[in-house]
Amino acid sequence: MKSFPSGPAYAPALLTIDLNALAWNWRFLSDTAAPAKAAAVVKANGYGLGTEPVVSTLASAGCRLFFAAQLSEAIAVRNALPNPEIEVGVLNGLMAGEEDAYPEYNLFPVLNDLSQVDRWAAYCASNGARAAAVQLDSGMTRVGLPHYEAEALASDPDRLSGFECRYLMSHMACADDPDHPLNAQQRDRFAAMVPRIPHSHAMLAASSATFLGPAWHFDYIRPGVALYGGRPNTLSANPLRQVIKLEGKILQIQDVDAPQTVGYGAGHKVEKPGRIATIGVGYADGYLRSLSNKATAVLHGVTVPLVGRVSMDLITFDITDVPDAKVGDKMELIGPSHTIDDLADQAGTIGYEILTSLGNRYARRYVGASE
């Protein structure tokens, strides 16, 4: 099997990416939504895990439809795919002057307003019919045809006659909150437009909405963060496998006692005898500064607290309760015992930000499908 770059040598932290878990998550989501099919969102460098290994793994698992956010990302996805028949879409819309790139790289645009619909129709009239997706704004108020443009298109569907609307799609705003009333409202708004706008396949649910039930699945689901192990919501156990594990080596251990302090700004005050371990990871690596005095990690099976501020290259943990720890031991910063969502909760953010912030200074080890 193909191998992938492992990252910088001699790095003090190791990011292990389990490609088998990634493939398992896609198959699980596909089975959950069946008979609907599953696409895959691989934007932002495969949610921080590497476009080439992520795309290659998911294609081998059976995925035949991918989405990136930006045109440059989609070109990288196309270059990572072995099969030109696998489809790749660009979510952020058709920008003026970029039309020729779509046939050149065998991509399709997601059209987000009527001007994009008309421009793509005109381009296809002059250059040959091609596919596109049309996105409706059913309640996000971000990208997609707003309701008045969707009504105009439904009243004049001949505006689509110059190309194939292969996917009619929308995006959910509150699907990670299963009880939010907007979930049903968006589903109903989208469902009402499905028979009115000519298309080949309808698509609404991303990661969290996949778990709202069959009424949200339509013809395709479009998971993103769930592929990488992120939880669908906070109300039930996460059924997905963890894809990443981040371990940092202990660089130094110091015996401490009051009235010593730890880190910039004397951010932690030592109150009793103990031991402080320093790890070579910091906010330059995507370990967020908001984790200062809040994060935990796991060392030899024991949960230990981060003390002091997160600095650019270093973090410090109180390892007093792990007396056998020594320099060179690995601490689990993210992993089965301390997931991306656990760390995100401590940082006051979401798992998406933890994943997409993973730094390029980590040594990366891909295990599973690439071995």
Task: Produce one character per residue of 342-366: b if its CB has 16 or more CB atoms within 10 Å, e if not.
Answer: bbbebbeebbbbbbbbbbebbbbeb
Beta bridge partners of 41: 67
Determine contact, residues 66/77, Cβ cutoff 8 Å.
Answer: yes
Q: Which residue, 2, 133, 131, 99, is CA-closest to 55? A: 2
- The amino acid present at 213, given as its one-letter code, is G
**Residue boundaries of the structural domains of the chain:** 19-228, 244-338
**Are the C-beta atoms of 167 and 144 separated by less than 8 Å?**
no
Answer yes or no: are the C-beta atoms of 228 and 301 closer than 8 Å. no
Between CA 330 and CA 300 the distance in angstroms is 8
Stated as kind and residue range, the H or E segment containing 366 is strand 363-367
pLDDT value for 69? 98
Give residue 2's pLDDT. 66
Over the chain, what is the mean pLDDT?
96
1 is in an annotated binding site: no
Tokens of 370: 């690439």
- Does residue 305 have a pLDDT over 80? yes
- Residues 6+ away with beta carbon under 8 Å from 86: 59, 63, 64, 65, 66
Task: Please pick, among 43, 245, 249, 330, the residue that the annotation labels catalytic.
Answer: 43
Q: What is the pLDDT of residue 371?
A: 45
Beta bridge partners of 13: 248
Q: Are strands 37-38 and 261-262 parallel, antiparallel or unpaired?
A: unpaired
CB 169 within 8 A of CB 204: yes
Please list the residues that pair with 14 across neighbouring strands: 247, 363
* pLDDT at 7 (0 to 100): 74
Query: Would you state the CATH architecture of domain 19-228?
Result: Alpha-Beta Barrel (3.20)
Residues 160 and 290: their CA atoms lie apart, in Å, by 48
Cα 243–Cα 246–Cα 249 angle in degrees, nearest 5: 155
> In this model, does residue 361 exceed pLDDT 90?
yes
Q: Confirm or deny that 312 is annotated as ligand binding.
A: yes
Residue from 47, 249, 264, 352 carrying the catalytic annotation: 264
pTM score of the predicted model: 0.95
| Listed residue (269, 251, 249) closest to 329, CA to CA | 249
Q: What is the pLDDT of residues 246-301, one digit of tens each?
A: 999 999 999 999 999 999 999 999 999 999 999 999 999 999 999 999 999 999 99
The tens digit of pLDDT for each residue in 113-149 reads: 999 999 999 999 999 999 999 999 999 999 999 999 9
CATH 2.40.37.10 applies to domain 244-338:
yes
Mean pLDDT of 60-87: 97
Alpha helical stretches, state H, 128-264: 147-155, 181-193
What does the pLDDT read at residue 370?
45
Residue 5: per-residue pLDDT: 67
pLDDT tens digit sequence for 2-55: 667 667 878 999 999 999 999 999 999 999 999 999 999 999 999 999 999 999
- pLDDT at position 301: 97
Which pLDDT score, from 0 to 100, does residue 174 have? Answer: 97
- The token pair that represents 36 in the structure block: 């609907």
> What does the pLDDT look like over 201-236, one tens digit per residue?
999 999 999 999 999 999 999 999 999 999 999 999
pLDDT higher than 90, residue 369: no
Distance CA 157, CA 196 (A): 8
**CB–CB of 264/316 below 8 Å?**
no
Name the DSSP letter for residue 96.
T
* 264 labelled catalytic: yes
Helix axis angle for 181-193 and 147-155, nearest 10°, is 20
Q: Per residue in 88-120, pLDDT tens?
A: 999 999 999 999 999 999 999 999 999 999 999
Task: Tell me whether residue 228 is one of the annotated catalytic residues.
Answer: no
pLDDT digits (tens, 9 = 90+) for 166-183: 999 999 999 999 999 999
Phi, psi of 221 (to 5 degrees): -105, 165
